[in-house]
Structure 1
């Protein structure tokens, strides 16, 4: 018989395992430096384990940590089952087909997105990824600094379009709330036809999916926190015991902020942005009007 853990996604198991290992370390009153010194590990190895960044987790590493932390037999069994899933299963985005276009930071992002129950997004330059159409994705990556080949662009398209299944999955579809700058609607990415199709797609998604909400930050709002750049906040199901995280990116890098004070700061920022942006109904009208203008 397959247990719930054995049927869970590797992404979920990596995050859950990392969270529980960190909790065990803190409960044992140990600092990371003390642990890595005992095991002769590099500091980054323990960090990757606790943040769920490793693609696979060695059961022997988990056992070594459990021994140091004094974990009881039942807890050890649970943690080893998580490690087993990471060794025997693969998330779809970790297959060889997508390796050439998947940066380490993007892998971590996909782990978070696939496990979250709610995502809040602030976007100033592009249509958010989960709402992009195929032609829009292609237009973006043809101007990318990455210099993708046509074949690699096709892989990027497949990754992004597959991610969008999160919004329509039968069991607990992702609750997706996005605040986008008016510039996203006005900037011509690709041809006028590409933009019309893209904005129409956003409007149709919002109207058909109650779990998706989009608000527009109009130009007349003046200076807002959205001018500080793109960021996303992921909230996870309470039963998992995973704390909310902030994801940020720029041209050079992608990173995750886990500190509770930082997460609270960004949660407050997205709440302020939602209050400053025009409401969902008015935003929908603006999106439809912008589509016609293109």
Structure 2
């Protein structure tokens, strides 16, 4: 529960609101289908509310749900307060600079990243976004995404650089990254860009809230081979349970299903145990730098 709405961010209010609405629906013994039929809503509208994906939330929608769920007046006022924050404040990524290049699915990711207390990220193909240099980001978007204009690429680079501020905010995001050794040897942008990128990873590991491990080729098969994933943890694990984020070229999506979350959290724990510790992993990074 958010106790200080004046200082709360819209992203946090959306996530908190969505979590509480889902709990209230389940407590009322109603399915999503039953609710949307009563309100004559599309199924996606309720889904977006419960997952915190809407940029703003209408107070009238919250009042309608509270009536169906028989919510007590005090709780209803709190939920309407959450909705009001989304109408009166804007998250940084809603600016004119960033908004044109952010897909609906990625908005959900940015909201989670901005409000999470910890992020666990496994990457098999490229350096995690929070550790990328500007030159590395630019090359990725030039090569991996066809049809982007220079202006769009500039916006994507600016977005990535701004995102990285979560590592130096107060309190900072606790970031644990595990990367495949292949990431260290894939010359994105050529030797010069890659050397600078690896040096940046080494520099970022000096931050107390950043932990980087490398899964070397020699370990063979492992649980990360199915692809990249990220899990978010929040300070209030009762109100905001961990969330898994997945993406590919076509889409981004999140899952809050307990079985799915548990599966990915276990996979990350296994990878942490399988990979060398931070110091030995840093040596792998430095060795790759020398080879360049």
Report the TM-score when normalising by structure 1.
Answer: 0.96
Q: Which runs of 5+ in 1 are unaligned?
A: none
Number of residue pairs the alignment of both structures matches: 290
Shift of 1:191: 2.3
Q: What's the counterpart of residue 193 of structure 1?
A: 192
1:142-153 matched pairs, under 5 angstroms? 142-153=142-153
Q: Does 1:281 align with 2:274?
A: no
In structure 2, C-alpha distance between the alignment counterparts of 1:96 and 1:105, rounded to whole Å: 18
Q: What's the counterpart of residue 72 of structure 2?
A: 72
Q: Which runs of 5+ in 2 are unaligned?
A: none
- Higher alpha-carbon deviation: 280-289 or 141-150: 141-150
Q: What's the counterpart of residue 266 of structure 2?
A: 268
Q: What's the counterpart of residue 63 of structure 1?
A: 63
Shift of 1:28: 1.1
Contact between 1:58 and 1:83, CA under 8 Å: does it hold in 2? yes
Q: What's the counterpart of residue 248 of structure 2?
A: 250
Contact between 1:32 and 1:43, CA under 8 Å: does it hold in 2? yes
Q: Which runs of 4+ in 1 moved over 3 A?
A: none
**SS in structure 2 at match of 1:269:** helix
1:121-270 matched pairs, under 5 angstroms? 121-169=121-169, 171-207=170-206, 209-238=207-236, 241-270=239-268
Q: What's the counterpart of residue 12 of structure 2?
A: 12
Report the TM-score when normalising by structure 2.
Answer: 0.97
**SS in structure 2 at match of 1:289:** helix
1:99-138 matched pairs, under 5 angstroms? 99-138=99-138
Contact between 1:16 and 1:240, CA under 8 Å: does it hold in 2? no
Shift of 1:145: 2.4
More helix by share: 1
Aligned CA distance change for structure 1 residues 55 and 44 (closer, same or farther; 3 Å): same
In structure 2, C-alpha distance between the alignment counterparts of 1:97 and 1:204, rounded to whole Å: 29
In structure 1, C-alpha distance between the alignment counterparts of 2:36 and 2:284, rounded to whole Å: 54
In structure 2, C-alpha distance between the alignment counterparts of 1:158 and 1:97, rounded to whole Å: 8
Shift of 1:96: 2.4
Shift of 1:32: 1.2
User: Cα deviation per residue 1:246-268 (whole Å; 9 max; x = unaligned)?
Assistant: 11111221111110011001111
In structure 2, C-alpha distance between the alignment counterparts of 1:128 and 1:72, rounded to whole Å: 44
In structure 2, C-alpha distance between the alignment counterparts of 1:54 and 1:221, rounded to whole Å: 42
User: Cα deviation per residue 1:176-199 (whole Å; 9 max; x = unaligned)?
Assistant: 001100000001000211111100
User: Cα deviation per residue 1:89-120 (whole Å; 9 max; x = unaligned)?
Assistant: 11111122222211111111101111110110
Contact between 2:53 and 2:105, CA under 8 Å: does it hold in 1? no
Aligned Cα root-mean-square deviation (Å): 1.2
Contact between 1:6 and 1:81, CA under 8 Å: does it hold in 2? no
User: Cα deviation per residue 1:156-215 (whole Å; 9 max; x = unaligned)?
Assistant: 11111111111111x2200100110000000100021111110001001102x0110000
**SS in structure 2 at match of 1:242:** coil
In structure 2, C-alpha distance between the alignment counterparts of 1:234 and 1:69, rounded to whole Å: 28
Q: What's the counterpart of residue 98 of structure 1?
A: 98
Q: What's the counterpart of residue 25 of structure 1?
A: 25
User: Cα deviation per residue 1:236-285 (whole Å; 9 max; x = unaligned)?
Assistant: 11277101011111122111111001100111101111111111110011
In structure 2, C-alpha distance between the alignment counterparts of 1:30 and 1:100, rounded to whole Å: 37
Q: What's the counterpart of residue 51 of structure 1?
A: 51
